[in-house]
Structure 1
Amino acid sequence: MSTEIRGATHQPWLTQLRTTLTTEFAAQKTRLTELTADTGDPGDAHTQAAMIAATRQSMAQIEDALRRIDDGSYGSCAKCGTQIPPERLEVLPHARFCVPCQQKQNG
C-alpha cells in the first residue's frame, strides 16, 4: 500500500477497498436479517440483542468508511486532519482517527 491515501496512484487500492467494504456490508446486512428473525427462545434474547447491536455498529462503520471514500476524506484523521498510517487502515479499514487522537477519544 502506498503511504499516500489520496491521489491517482492510490485509486486501485481504494477501488478494491470499496468492493471489500461493500461485500462486507452486504454480509452484515444478511446477518442482521438472520439475527432479527424470531427464534422463539427467550433465553437467547440477551445474546441476540448484543449481536444485533454489534452488527449494526459494524454496518454503520462500513457505511461511514464508504462515505469518506466517496467524499475524498478517507485516510485523514477526523479530529486533527493528519494522514492515518496505511498500516492502521489495513488492519482497521473503518478507522476515523489516527492512533493519538483515538487514544484521546477513548480517554
Structure 2
Amino acid sequence: MNIDDPAVDQRRLADLRASLTAGYAAQSARLRELTELTADTGDPGAAYGHSALVAATRTSIEQINGALRRIADGSYGVCEKCAVRIPVARLEALPHARFCVPCQSKQHG
C-alpha cells in the first residue's frame, strides 16, 4: 500500500491512518496510566507484571508510530528488507508490519 501507487485505495489508507492515530492515543493514555501506578505492593510478581505491561505498551506505541511514519513518507506496505509489496491480508492482520512473511521468518530464524 504505497501512497504513490495509483491503485491504492486512498480511503482505506485514510481509514487506516485514523485507526492507527486512535490506537496511538489510546496506548499513550494507557502508558500514562501505567506509569502513574507506582504503588509498591511488595509482590515481585506484581512488579514484574507491571513492568511487562509498560514495556508492551511502549512497544505498541513505537509500532504504531512507525506505521504512521511509513504512511506519511509513502513507504507503507513495502518490505524494509527486500522491497517487495507486503500482501494486503498481512497488513490488515498486522497494520504495523515492516517485513513480508519470508523476510520476517528469516529475521526471527
**SS in structure 1 of the partner of residue 86 of structure 2:** coil
> Mapping of 1:81-100 within 5 angstroms?
81-100=83-102
Match of 1:70, as an amino acid?
A
Deviation string, structure 1 residues 24-79 (Cα, Å, up to 9, x no partner)? 01000011111111133232211100000000000000000000000000000000
Q: What is the CA–CA distance in structure 1 between the aligned matches of 2:39 and 2:16, rounded to whole Å?
A: 35
The alignment status of 1:40 with 2:52, answered yes or no, reads no
Cα pair 2:40 2:47 within 8 Å, conserved: no
Q: Given that residues 85 and 100 in structure 2 are in contact (C-alpha distance below 8 angstroms), is that contact kept between their aligned partners in structure 1?
A: yes
| Counterpart-to-counterpart distance in 2, 1:60 and 1:71 | 16
- Tell me how far 1:10 sits from its aligned partner: 1.6
The code of the aligned residue for 1:57 comes to: T
Which segments of 5 or more consecutive residues in structure 1 lack a partner in the other structure?
Answer: none
Is 2:20–2:64's contact at 8 Å kept on the other side of the alignment? yes
User: Number of residues paired by the alignment?
Assistant: 103
